[in-house]
Amino acid sequence: MQSYSALNLFRRGLGGHKSWTRAWRDPAPKSHYDVIIIGGGGHGLATAYYLAKVHGIKNVAVLERGWIGGGNTGRNTTIVRSNYRQPALHNLFEFSLKLWEGMSDDLNYNVMFSQRGALFLGHSDSDMIRLAERGDAMRCMGIDAELMSKAQLRKLIPLLDMSDEARFPVVGGLIQPRGGTARHDAVAWGYARAADALGVDVIQNCEVTGMDIRGGKIVGVKTTKGDIGADRVGICVAGNSGQVAAMADLRLPIESHLLQAFVSEPVKPMIDTVIMSQSIHCYISQSDKGEIVLGGDPDMYPTYSQRGRPDRIEEVAGQAIALIPALSRLRMLRSWAGTTDMSFDGSPIIGKTPVDELYLNGGWCYGGFKATPGSGWLYAHTLAKGEPHALNAPFRLDRFETGATIDETGAGPMPHHR
């Protein structure tokens, strides 16, 4: 693997940058692998990387239907945080956040992780009680959280509408200073390159079309590039988990919904933290290119179309402008939608399935991107040992039938927030 460094940039610049080679190989699939990972998103690539790096399992293939970075990894709003209230969730996301902090060095790839703070606004006394409760739960576990007063918020985000007449009056907030954003496609590319360097085959344009299951045990997969044998197979295709699991006759506690995101034209720095809210569903940040990145509620009905409904754009834009009136002068540049796995308690699934040697990682709802390194690390552990790590043990598939759901919002047996 060519090292990416300032020295190398300079040295190869002298040659007109013509000596750079491709970041990862384009291998043809072998006939058999120790582990096959279905899905070349951030989570699948991270899983392959940690399988090779931490567990020494290098005979691994990642099968990607499209191209690396073309799925949900490149469709999110790039927010990274671990400010959850329930222990199972904040343990998972805090573990992930710690991996984010060393990721660029570990991968020799700049993922532009920027810990600019992840702020939740409170709009009422009851919002502030819930934020304080969440902050207390986090601090008890050693996770950073600070309650913010109105005066502190005014200083942090001068453009926020702090007037009493505001549509969503701001009375305070809770910030996690170590939260922030990262460049999402760099995460996929960085993991693909690093996994490839350790011997993992990253195979693009290779769609899994069936599973070879004999006597309740998976022995391989059928793909558009031929049949491939495997000792162990990991599904990692959030958004399409139900489709892939159906190849093994499994029904999952998941509905596929759309989540949209929007970016404005680029402007000078105006928002230097990630803004979310306890009561309304709108998140606002500014990318390194200067674009204002917006996200909101999912589209609230099952669809795989990747085409969002326009009334959601109006709703999110309306909320964003109410919070920061200066945004009203911006033009929207692009909007897009990603298909997300909405699980029935709002929490992910990482663990075994009823089919021997077939494992599942999915059900990430809105929260997949921030979990990328932690999810990969824990899924790699699960695939290597055949047993879940203590951190992902609560996120097993059978928790729904045993009643051990992890329901952060208390929404009950419905896809999150319905």
Partner 1 sequence: MLLIHCPHCGPRAQAEFVFERPLESIIQIDEALPDLIPKLYSRVNPKGPSWELWRHTYGCQSWLKLHRDTHNHTIHAVLEIGQTPEGGDA
Point out which span in 36-44, 265-273, 303-311, 377-385 binds partner 1 (CB under 8 A): 303-311
Q: Cβ of residue 368: shortest distance to partner 1, in angstroms?
A: 17
* The token pair that represents 324 in the structure block: 């920061």
Give the count of residues interacting with partner 1 (CB under 8 A): 24
Backbone angles phi, psi at 121, to 5 degrees: -85, 145
Per CB under 8 A, the list member of 105, 164, 165, 311 interacting with partner 1 is: 311
Closest distance to partner 1 from the beta carbon of 255 (Å) = 5
The single-letter DSSP state of residue 343 is E
Distance CA 96, CA 40 (A): 19
Q: Does 404 bind partner 1 (CB under 8 A)?
A: no
Q: Which is nearer to partner 1, 252 or 261 (CB)?
A: 252
How near is the Cβ of 256 to partner 1 at its closest, in Å?
A: 6
Polymer length of the chain: 418
- By C-alpha distance, which of 196, 322, 304, 200 is closest to 259? 304
Nearest to 350 by CA among 337, 359, 338, 339: 359
Closest approach of partner 1 to the CB of residue 312, in Å? 9
∠ Cα 209 46 258 (to 5°):
60
Query: Binding of partner 1 at residue 302 (CB under 8 A)?
Result: yes
Q: How far is CA 38 from CA 22, 126, 365, in A?
A: 23, 44, 19
Is residue 344 close enough to count as binding partner 1 by CB under 8 A? yes
What span, in angstroms and rounded, lies between the C-alpha atoms of 289 and 136?
A: 35
Q: Output 4 or 400, the one with its CB closest to partner 1.
A: 400
Angstrom CA distances, 298 to 285, 313, 316, stand at 18, 11, 11
Restricting to residues 140-199, which ones interact with partner 1 according to CB under 8 A? none
- d(CA 12, CA 55) in angstroms, rounded, equals 34
Q: Which is nearer to partner 1, 136 or 314 (CB)?
A: 314
Q: Which of 79, 148, 187, 254 touches partner 1 by CB under 8 A?
A: 254
> Which of 64, 144, 201, 255 is close enough to bind partner 1 by CB under 8 A?
255
- Candidates 184, 181, 182, 239; CA nearest to 69 is 184
When asked if residue 67 is in the footprint of partner 1 (CB under 8 A), the reply is: no
Distance from chain centroid for Cα 241: 15
Does 210 contact partner 1 by CB under 8 A?
Answer: no
251 binds partner 1 (CB under 8 A): yes
Q: Which of 105, 311 has the CB closer to partner 1?
A: 311
Q: What is the rounded distance in angstroms from the CA atom of residue 32 to the CA atom of residue 225?
A: 13
Integer Rg of the chain from CA: 21
Stretch that binds partner 1, among 150-158, 188-196, 209-217, 237-245 (CB under 8 A): 237-245
Q: Under DSSP, is residue 232 helix (H, G, I), strand (E, B) or coil?
A: strand
Name, in order, each residue with C-beta under 8 angstroms of 253's C-beta and a sequence gap of 6 or more.
Answer: 343, 344, 345, 349, 363, 397, 400
Among 66, 199, 310, 386, binds partner 1 (CB under 8 A): 310
| Binder among 5, 8, 19, 305 for partner 1 (CB under 8 A) | 305
Interatomic CA distance for residues 70 and 45, integer angstroms:
13
Least separation in angstroms between CB 358 and partner 1: 17
Among 2, 124, 243, 279, the residue binding partner 1 under the rule CB under 8 A is 243
Q: Tell me the C-alpha to C-alpha distance, in Å, between residue 215 and each of 36, 89, 298, 320, 355.
A: 19, 35, 40, 54, 9
Looking at the Cβ atoms of 78 and 240, the one nearer to partner 1 is 240
Near partner 1 by CB under 8 A: residue from 253, 295, 346, 363: 253
Residue 400 binds to partner 1 (criterion: CB under 8 A): yes
Q: Which of 139, 199, 224, 304 binds partner 1 (CB under 8 A)?
A: 304
Task: Select the residue interacting with partner 1 from 246, 265, 385, 409 (CB under 8 A).
Answer: 246
Residue choice 25, 217, 307, 334 for contact with partner 1 (CB under 8 A): 307
Q: For partner 1, which stretch binds (CB under 8 A), given 25-33, 58-66, 206-214, 236-244?
A: 236-244
Residue whose tokens read 């549509």: 167
Q: Which stretch binds partner 1 (CB under 8 A): 49-57, 78-86, 302-310, 320-328?
A: 302-310
User: Which residues of this protein are in contact with partner 1, per CB under 8 A?
Assistant: 240, 242-243, 246, 251-256, 300-305, 307, 309-311, 344, 400-401, 413
